[in-house]
Amino acid sequence: MRSYLPAYDMRVPLELDEALETMARAPGEWKPFAGGTDLMVLLEQGKLAHRKFLSVARLKGLYGFALTDDHVTLGAMITYRQVQATAILQQEFPLLCRAAYETGGIATQNRGTLGGNIANASPAADSPPALLVYDAELELVSARGARWVPYAGFHLDYKKLDMRPEEVIRNIRLPRTKKNWRQHYRKVGTRRAQAISKVCFAGAALVDGGEINDVRIALGSVAPTVLRCRKTEALLRGSLTTEMVRAACDELAREIQPIDDFRSTARYRTRVAQKLLAEFLLGLIAPPAGDRA
């Protein structure tokens, strides 16, 4: 059933300071609202529990972009379309561009934002596995000041964030350390366009002379939060062997906690997650795509 509209309020401030003051006066009373591509669905279904929203989509302070030798810093309101069109992201962070490309259709990509996707905290979101692989950091800001936190660990449990109710995400910072890593992203859903994932995989590995020196593995839709799989990563060092791939796939099945729901089953998700990991690892043995004839 549709929601009763007079019960819902929204303010649309233009200045970040004004928004942060409003949030600081009564923490938790006003909740940030970005592109609305998820919250408006809940509103229409009559499932939007919170009633007072502060639109952050017009806040100029959330649209920053900075490039230094060490980092790319993206304002939280960067849309999926803008992610795909950003040259430095295409060159050095292809998994993020791929995730943005695979998120909904064009109309969703024009409204949905990276910051909104993080704060909405869906375990099935497409971009967070890529952000985990890239060791992203978040800048949280409130009327009292700003702080940087690692993105890994930001999702405490299903839809629970390590963030105070008066804070908003201002920036997402990506260290420029993975450029020469072999990278792989694959989303498995019911259809290529629009579908929300059954399993989503992002991986990157630093490979030198056939040896894995460092690796990142992260998945979506397999746990109450998007998940970086550190135990699986720990098994992947040195020359890749069949035994290592098998052991990593076994460990992955222990590390994830998928469920049965209307999109898929726990059994299918486990099987696909293992296949995606194996696909990534076997791809590391093959020459890089650019070297192929």
Partner 1 sequence: MPEVRKVAVSFAVNGEPRTVEAYPMARLLDVLRQDLLLTGTKEGCGEGECGACSVLIDGELVNSCLVPVAQAEGSRITTIEGIAGETLHAVQEAFVECGGAQCGICTPGMVLAAVTLVGRQSAQPTEDDIRNGLAGNLCRCTGYMRIFEAVLQACEKSVGAGA
Shortest Å, Cβ 266 to partner 1: 25
Q: Which is nearer to partner 1, 19 or 174 (CB)?
A: 19
Task: Name all contacts of 250-259 with Cβ < 8 Å and 24+ positions apart.
Answer: 252/217, 252/277, 255/227, 255/229, 255/230, 255/231, 256/219, 256/222, 256/223, 256/227, 256/229, 257/222, 257/223, 257/224, 258/199, 258/221, 258/222, 258/223
DSSP string, 56-101: -TT-GGG--EEE-SSEEEEETT-BHHHHHH-HHHHHH-HHHHHHHH
Q: Which is nearer to partner 1, 27 or 46 (CB)?
A: 46
Shortest Å, Cβ 110 to partner 1: 4
Binding region for partner 1 (CB under 8 A)? 3-12, 33, 35-37, 40-41, 43-45, 53, 55, 57-58, 81, 104-108, 110-111, 192-194
β-partners of residue 157 are 160
Q: Which is nearer to partner 1, 101 or 268 (CB)?
A: 101
Shortest Å, Cβ 279 to partner 1: 23
Shortest Å, Cβ 93 to partner 1: 20
Shortest Å, Cβ 29 to partner 1: 12
Locate 21 and state its tokens: 């003051």
Q: Which is nearer to partner 1, 45 or 265 (CB)?
A: 45
Q: Which is nearer to partner 1, 105 or 290 (CB)?
A: 105
Return all residues near 43 (Cβ < 8 A) that are at least 6 apart.
Answer: 3, 8
Shortest Å, Cβ 52 to partner 1: 9
Q: Which is nearer to partner 1, 12 or 66 (CB)?
A: 12
Residue 16: HSE in the Cβ half-sphere, 13 Å Cα cutoff: 20
* End-to-end CA gap in the chain: 57
